[in-house]
């Protein structure tokens, strides 16, 4: 068991008298949820202690901002292996829990999943232990505010052997794509080799429309994302750099508060979608650059007032932090999905920027994950 899992368990142990019967029959076995056997207010109390332990004195949070406890997820990646479709067993990459439903997913996605389950039995799945077979993942994505649904099938061969499944869902989803993932790595993304239907869905946040393509990142809990973006917009002014910008979601959201926004992102599909999203919303003070974050901050004079950073779970790391320390920024707004790497980055950033504000959000209720938003001001 990993160190952080042990920490969470030891904190949860102190709340043992608050245990409830979990709403989902797979809780405890399925790796998706770690805290479902506590009511929601107890989950938030456990997470607050866990978060502060992970932040390790860099800063502490007073509370965890609550979300919708169930039915919040706009994306689920279901593994198809060993005659099963579902999520990996808690603590075991080698085992898949055969799911008939998942209460975290939004309603429309749940009903599409039920149809897919019914029709999928004839399709060859993929044994990721011996690397043999065809269908690796079924991915369902849904716009929380638009209701649009996307179904993606990640396969190991450039073939469409999914006719029965696709026919069954075709009229009830907005987008269907086939994605090729033919390497040894267990990836639920790859090259889109066929858009069977449309190839994108849309989400909207406070009036801004976003196009989401099969491989591009979009936050999995729109309800909470909207609350966090509203907060980010309060800390933005002047010329803004949005590093790790995905499909431009934060860039476009804060464009009204900024003189200009430059979004930087490695994934070319996301950068193309970001450009499309700017045009779709008639926003013309935003530019998107396809680049590695480190390369971009190394090669540019960084004439920005504010940098927004929203890196993957690995965090910024010492090299990117080093460049931010050399840059002449007035403020850094840091959105993080991993308090551990956030604490490491923050401990370095405070050499030059004071950590003045931090808040924690429950982006993933029922799970151990915590989202943070923090503001650093130049000293
Ligand atoms: C946590 S997501 C944030 C996306 C966006 N800010 C949002 O709120 O939807 C991190 C993004 O960083 C991108 N990314 C990962 N490594 C990167 C790198 N080295 N340079 C630039 N972008 C990177 C990923 O493709 C992903 O879109």
Q: Is 43 touching ligand 1 by the criterion CB < 6 Å?
A: no
Scanning the chain, the segments in alpha helix (DSSP H) are 3-13, 40-55, 107-119, 163-169, 222-234, 249-254, 268-280, 293-299, 317-326, 339-349
pLDDT digits (tens, 9 = 90+) for 320-356: 999 999 998 999 999 999 999 999 999 999 999 999 9
- Coil, strand or helix at 55: helix
Atom of ligand 1 nearest to the CA of 218: 9
- Pull the structure tokens for residue 273: 């979608």
Of the residues 24, 33, 337, 358, which is catalytic?
337
Closest by CA to 308, choosing from 223, 227, 360, 239, is 239
Top mutation candidate among 312, 324, 363 for ligand 1, by most atoms within 8 Å of CB: 312
Give distance in angstroms: CA of 171 to centre of ligand 1. 32
Assess whether the C-beta atom of 224 lies below 6 angstroms from ligand 1: no
Q: Give yes or no for residue 203 CB within 6 A of ligand 1.
A: no
Atom of ligand 1 nearest to the CA of 295: 20
d(CA 128, ligand 1 centre) in Å: 26
How far apart are the CA of 141 and the centre of ligand 1, in A? Answer: 18
Q: Is 172 in the pocket of ligand 1 (CB under 6 A)?
A: no
CA distances to 22, 42, 74, 75, 335 from 224, rounded to whole Å, are: 23, 19, 11, 14, 13
Q: What domains can you pick out in the chain, each with its CATH number? A: 3-65 (no CATH), 75-204 (2.40.50.1070)
C-alpha of residue 244 to centroid of ligand 1, in Å:
4
* Beta strand 96-98 pairing with 84-88: antiparallel
Which one, of 312, 362, 356, lies nearest residue 35 by Cα? 362
Ligand 1 neighbourhood includes 312 CB (under 6 angstroms) = yes
With a 6 Å cutoff on the Cβ, whether 319 touches ligand 1 is no
Q: Is 33 in the pocket of ligand 1 (CB under 6 A)?
A: no
Q: What is the pLDDT of residue 328?
A: 86
> Could you tell me if the CB of 127 is within 6 A of ligand 1?
no
pTM of the model: 0.93
CB 76 within 8 A of CB 102: yes
Each residue's pLDDT tens digit, 226-256: 999 999 999 999 999 999 999 999 999 999 9
240 Cα to the center of ligand 1, angstroms: 16
**Is any ligand 1 atom within 6 A of the Cβ of residue 270?**
yes
pLDDT for res 317: 98
DSSP 58-112: S---S-EE---SSS-BSEEEEEEETTEEEEEBTT-TT-EEE-S--TTB-HHHHHH
Residues with pLDDT less than 70, the chain: 1, 301-302
DSSP labels, 156-192:
SSS----HHHHHHHGGG-SEEEEEE--SSS--S--EE
- Give the distance (Å) from ligand 1 centre to CA of residue 301: 21
Residue nearest to atom 13 of ligand 1 (CA): 244
DSSP-assigned beta bridge partners for residue 98: 86
- The pLDDT value given to residue 31: 93
Question: In this predicted structure, what is the pLDDT of residue 2?
Answer: 78
Give the DSSP letter of residue 125: B
The predicted pLDDT at position 108 comes to 92
Q: How many residues are there in the chain?
A: 379
Active site annotation includes 102:
no
Whole-angstrom CA distances from 233 to 254, 360, 372 are 5, 17, 15
Is residue 337 annotated as a catalytic residue, yes or no?
yes
């Amino acid at each position: 068991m990993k160190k952080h899992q042990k920490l969470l368990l030891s904190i949860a142990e102190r709340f043992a008298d608050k245990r409830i019967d979990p709403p989902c029959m797979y809780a405890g076995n399925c790796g998706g949820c770690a805290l479902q056997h506590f009511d929601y207010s107890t989950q938030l109390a456990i997470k607050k202690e866990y978060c502060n332990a992970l932040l390790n004195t860099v800063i502490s949070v007073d509370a965890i901002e609550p979300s919708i406890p169930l039915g919040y997820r706009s994306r689920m990646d279901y593994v198809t292996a060993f005659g099963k479709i579902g999520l990996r067993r808690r603590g075991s990459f080698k085992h898949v829990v055969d799911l008939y439903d998942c209460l975290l997913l939004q309603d429309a996605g749940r009903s599409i999943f039920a149809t897919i389950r019914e029709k999928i039995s004839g399709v060859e799945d993929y044994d990721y232990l011996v690397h043999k077979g065809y269908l690796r993942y079924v991915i369902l994505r849904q716009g929380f505010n638009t209701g649009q649904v996307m179904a993606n099938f990640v396969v190991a061969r450039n073939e469409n052997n999914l006719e029965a499944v696709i026919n069954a869902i075709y009229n009830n989803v907005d987008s269907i794509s086939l994605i090729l993932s033919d390497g040894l790595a267990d990836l639920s993304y790859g090259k889109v080799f066929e858009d069977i239907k449309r190839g994108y869905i849309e989400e909207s946040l406070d009036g801004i429309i976003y196009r989401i393509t099969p491989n591009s990142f979009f936050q999995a809990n729109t309800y909470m994302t909207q609350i966090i973006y509203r907060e980010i917009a309060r800390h933005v002014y002047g010329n803004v750099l949005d590093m790790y910008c995905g499909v431009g979601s934060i860039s476009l959201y804060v464009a009204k508060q900024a003189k200009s926004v430059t979004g930087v992102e490695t994934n070319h599909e996301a950068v193309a979608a970001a450009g499309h999203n700017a045009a779709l919303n008639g926003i013309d003070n935003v530019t998107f650059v396809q680049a590695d974050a480190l390369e971009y901050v190394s090669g540019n004079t960084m004439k920005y007032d504010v940098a927004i950073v929203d890196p993957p779970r690995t965090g910024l790391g010492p090299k990117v932090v080093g460049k931010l320390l050399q840059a002449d920024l007035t403020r850094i707004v840091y959105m993080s999905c991993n308090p551990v790497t956030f604490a490491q980055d923050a401990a370095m950033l405070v050499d030059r920027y004071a950590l003045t504000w931090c808040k924690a959000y429950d982006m993933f209720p029922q799970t151990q994950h915590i989202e943070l938003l923090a503001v650093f001001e130049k000293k």
